[in-house]
Amino acid sequence: MTTPPLRVWLWGTPALAVPSLHALHADPRIHLVGVTTPPPAPRGRGQRLTPCPLHTAAESLGHTVTHARTATQVDTLCQQHAAQVDVGVVIAFGVLFRQAALSTWPLGQVNVHFSLLPQWRGASPVQSAILSGQSESGITLQRMVKALDAGPILWQHRTDITQQRTSALWPAWGEVTATHLVSVLLDYQQGEITPTPQDSTLATTCGKFTKADGYADPRTMTATTIERMTRAFDVWPTTSVLTPLGRVRLHDVSLPPAPDTVPLPCAQGTTLFVHTLQLPSRPRAHAQAVLRNHPDLFAHFSA
């Protein structure tokens, strides 16, 4: 007797969700019933309404994309498809699900979260792990509950994140998720995975970062702190220091002395070595070239 395919609904937004879309679409053991993203939003200088990466990719595969921006709209979609779906998969969707949406489908909603839960529950787990100096983080698939990122764990993948950047981890972990997602869902459906409750006493939380979080002050921050910022915030909000020429963005930096770098004095007698930086309204440039024209750029930090 042929086993019917697992019926899946995908909720998501960014490019890191696209590999999982392709995995679900291509596997004959899966029937991808629907894809929901946020509605198109104004982007770019012209503020043109632009669909998110998952929307564009889903349409290119022939899927009709629905939109939701509120928990009420999510509830409605779940109820409309109550008999057609076994499980939802949620990847960086940006809406808090209410109990109705969490319990409508037999296997609930499975969330892909980029931390080793219960570490870094919340909106910015990758950046927070880098900022805290962790050597290891990873991916968790959890069955969602009403409390944020507090659901029982179905699967985890551990990764060494020493010297890693957010811009590298997001796409890499998107690919890792896609590689394992289908097998985890099928094992979960067949009862071969026992969801493991999280130990809430070990939980840490993180919120959304703002543009101001990217402003570094070498007079009060150590070189280690600022170096971590440049890796955690390399997608957004980036890391900058206030100089006589305005806010200068730091791109490539190192803690040990390195050739072709410029020293930036920091708190507690530490030094950050800057490879590339960016002056206001200028392209990225080698720090040594910039300092030849502006030799006092960082002088006030050593005063």
71 alpha-carbon distance from chain centroid: 21
The residue type found at 280 is P
Domains and CATH numbers, the chain: 6-205 (3.40.50.170), 211-302 (3.10.25.10)
> pTM here?
0.95
pLDDT computed for residue 42 by the predictor = 87
Q: What percent of the chain has pLDDT over 90?
A: 95
pLDDT computed for residue 303 by the predictor = 64
pLDDT computed for residue 3 by the predictor = 86
> Mean pLDDT across the chain, nearest whole number?
96
d(C-alpha 12, C-alpha 18), whole Å: 9
Residue with tokens 């290891």: 136
Confidence of residue 1 (pLDDT cuts 50, 70, 90): low
Using one digit for the tens of pLDDT, what is the confidence trace for 136-190? 999 999 999 999 999 999 999 999 999 999 999 999 999 999 999 999 999 999 9
d(C-alpha 212, C-alpha 105), whole Å: 41
Using one digit for the tens of pLDDT, what is the confidence trace for 242-301? 999 999 999 999 999 999 999 999 999 999 999 999 999 999 999 999 999 999 999 999
Of the two residues 46 and 61, the one the predictor is more confident about is 61
d(C-alpha 209, C-alpha 215), whole Å: 11
d(C-alpha 88, C-alpha 175), whole Å: 19
pLDDT computed for residue 288 by the predictor = 96
| CA-CA-CA-CA torsion sign (259, 213, 234, 205) | positive
Q: For residue 301, give every residue at least 6 positions away whose Cβ sits within 8 Å of its Cβ, in sequence order, or none.
A: 218, 219, 241, 264, 265, 266
pLDDT computed for residue 228 by the predictor = 98
Cα dihedral 13→14→20→21 (10° resolution) = 50
Using one digit for the tens of pLDDT, what is the confidence trace for 85-138? 999 999 999 999 999 999 999 999 999 999 999 999 999 999 999 999 999 999
As a whole number, mean pLDDT of residues 204-228 equals: 97
As a whole number, mean pLDDT of residues 196-216 equals: 97
The strand pairing partners of 156, in sequence order, are 140
pLDDT computed for residue 45 by the predictor = 79
Q: What percent of the chain has pLDDT over 70?
A: 99
- Cβ–Cβ under 8 Å, residues 108 and 131: no
Above 80 in pLDDT, residue 2?
Answer: no
As a whole number, mean pLDDT of residues 213-230 equals: 98
Using one digit for the tens of pLDDT, what is the confidence trace for 158-170? 999 999 999 999 9
